[in-house]
Homo-oligomer: A and B are copies of this chain.
Amino acid sequence: MDAIQDHYPDELAHCFGCGRLNEHGHHLRSSWNGEASEARFTPRPYDTALPGFVHGGLLASLVDCHGTGTAAVAAYRAEGRGWETAPAHRFVTASLRVDFLKPTPLGPELLLTGRVRSISGRKVVVEVAVTVGGTTTVRGEVVAVEMPESMRPPSRSTPAG
């Protein structure tokens, strides 16, 4: 399924959590099911907190990237255009909250679901749930803001000389 991260511009696609061009990263991919965003991730055996449970830092990382991805989806939708159109939306996180409702068992695939709570100007608030085997183990909230120009890498299309 098509994912928002597939459409991040190359120069903004190196995030460890969700950048397709980060060869060491998690490559999280967030799609849109018509009502909410979804992403799936299967932790590796060493992504552990206490034995048998998923590392909270990994869960926070997945919530974060799925939240900013969902914010970008929401921004395109608010403008009535597809994520394959320019200019590209790319969000960063201003604030992240993660509530660990119960331990997340290590092994099965995790499902992340994102719902847009509000859009105002450059700010999008996204609620993310992590479920495993039908049980929600984590709830998160991501306050995402459109990437400031000060974070934009130098464009590769600028003539070198």
The reply to whether A14 and B61 form a contact with Cβ atoms under 8 Å apart is: no
Q: How many residues of A contact B (CB 8 A)?
A: 45
Q: Known: A22-B46, A151-B53. Contact between A60 and B15, CB under 8 A?
A: no
Copies of the polypeptide in the assembly: 2
Digit string of A79-97 for contact with B (CB within 8 Å is 1, else 0)? 0000000000010111111
The reply to whether A16 and B49 form a contact with Cβ atoms under 8 Å apart is: yes
Q: Is A12 an interface residue (CB 8 A)?
A: yes
In the complex, chain B residues whose CB is within 8 Å of the CB of A152: 50
In A84-116, the 8 Å CB interface with B consists of 90, 92-100, 103
The reply to whether A55 and B17 form a contact with Cβ atoms under 8 Å apart is: yes
A20 to chain B, nearest CB (A): 13
The reply to whether B50 and A92 form a contact with Cβ atoms under 8 Å apart is: yes
The complex places the Cα of A11 from the Cα of B49 at a distance, in Å, of 11
Contact among B12, B14, B58, B94 with A16 in the assembled complex (CB-CB below 8 Å): B58
The complex places the Cα of A152 from the Cα of B48 at a distance, in Å, of 13
In the complex, chain B residues whose CB is within 8 Å of the CB of A52: 151, 153
